[in-house]
């Protein structure tokens, strides 16, 4: 198991790279290093912490991408595993690269788009 570099990208062009250890989520790593990200439930049942995977720089050993939609956008499954099921995201949203950073543990170095615009694209949690 190895640490992964996650580059967080905001709409205004700002980026921050955090090193995430195998036992922490992206949100925990960001908080540890002073990078502020929105969050609420910390359990994957809301979408406050949602991000979108833009680029995966490598995968560990699972490469179960299907590419069925013809999109070049990597799915969140390419880059992350979850501590528990991401209840607030549909399968389609996950396939579109959306990821809940509060429970997401990286499997690869990647770039993730963050900020309020990402949350507005996903909409409301089915649990709210």
Q: What structural domains does the chain harbor?
A: 4-122 (3.10.20.30)
CB 7 within 8 A of CB 15: yes
* Distance separating alpha carbons of residues 78 and 108, to the nearest angstrom: 8
The contacts of residue 47 (CB under 8 Å, 6+ apart) are 88, 89, 100, 119, 122, 123, 124, 125
Look at the chain and count its residues: 128
Q: Is the C-alpha dihedral spanning 10, 28, 77, 94 positive or negative?
A: negative
- The pTM score is 0.83
* Distance separating alpha carbons of residues 22 and 14, to the nearest angstrom: 25
Strands 80-82 and 104-106, sheet pairing = antiparallel
* Distance separating alpha carbons of residues 88 and 21, to the nearest angstrom: 24
Instruction: Give the pLDDT confidence of 24-72 residue by residue, as tens digits.
Output: 999 999 999 999 999 999 999 999 999 999 999 854 444 444 444 445 5
**C-alpha closest to that of 9 among 118, 93, 126, 128:** 118
Higher pLDDT, 51 or 124: 51
* Distance separating alpha carbons of residues 79 and 102, to the nearest angstrom: 15
At 123 the pLDDT is 76
Instruction: Give the pLDDT confidence of 3-31 residue by residue, as tens digits.
Output: 999 999 999 999 999 999 999 999 999 99
At 77 the pLDDT is 83
């Amino acid at each position: 198991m190895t640490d992964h570099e996650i580059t967080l990208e905001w709409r205004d062009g700002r980026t921050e790279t955090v090193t995430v250890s195998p036992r922490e989520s992206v949100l925990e790593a960001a908080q540890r290093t002073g990078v502020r990200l929105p969050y609420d439930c910390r359990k994957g049942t809301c979408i406050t912490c949602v991000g979108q995977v833009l680029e995966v720089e490598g995968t560990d050993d699972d490469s179960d991408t299907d590419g069925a939609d013809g999109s070049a956008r990597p799915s969140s499954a390419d880059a992350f595993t979850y501590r528990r099921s991401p209840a607030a995201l549909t399968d389609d949203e996950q396939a579109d690269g959306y990821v809940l950073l509060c429970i997401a543990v990286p499997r690869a170095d990647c770039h993730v788009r963050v900020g309020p615009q990402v949350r507005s694209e996903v909409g409301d949690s089915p649990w709210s």
